[in-house]
Amino acid sequence: MRFDCRRLFARPRTLGQRGEAVAARFLKKKGYKILARSYRTAIGELDLVAVDPNDVRGSTIIFAEVKTRKGTRAGYPEEAVDRRKQHKLSQLAEHYRAVHNVEAYPARFDVIAVEWPEQHKRPRVTHFPDAFDASLGDVMDG
């Protein structure tokens, strides 16, 4: 079987996959190191796991939820990260931290909203650092 290098450069197929790729590039440009993309477990998936070396608490592990929408007709993308989703993300993060033995490092939850109307070539990316506190279930301020 021959390796097809075109797969490396193929664009992600779904809107969500394209949004996650845009969000990963966005974070990299800000100096973040991406540790995992689409980290799957039996209970769900973490979109992006990264390290923010610029966080005042030290090398903070970021669990970023990416929400991509073509428009705001059904609401803003970040509004889809409700309390139920926050709870699930906190469970997934605890799993990741235990499996990778990084429980001693500070962690935070970010939301990255990607708005990508069909008529635009480039999306608009809005980053909500420290969007919610998983231990309290606080709703992000925006």
What was the pLDDT predicted at 9? 58
For each successive 10 residues of the chain (142 residues), what is the average pLDDT? 56 84 96 95 95 84 95 88 94 95 93 90 93 63 42
Q: Sketch the domain layout of the chain as residue ranges.
A: 6-132
Q: What is the pLDDT of residue 13?
A: 79
Q: Which CATH number fits domain 6-132: 3.30.465.10, 3.20.20.70, 3.40.1350.10, 3.40.50.720?
A: 3.40.1350.10
pLDDT at position 121 is 82
Which pLDDT does position 141 carry in this prediction?
42
CA-closest candidate to residue 46, choices 34, 58, 38, 57? 38
Answer whether 103's CB lies under 8 Å from 97's CB.
Answer: yes
Which pLDDT does position 72 carry in this prediction? 83
Decide: 65 and 78 in contact? Cβ < 8 Å.
no
What pLDDT is attached to residue 58? Answer: 77
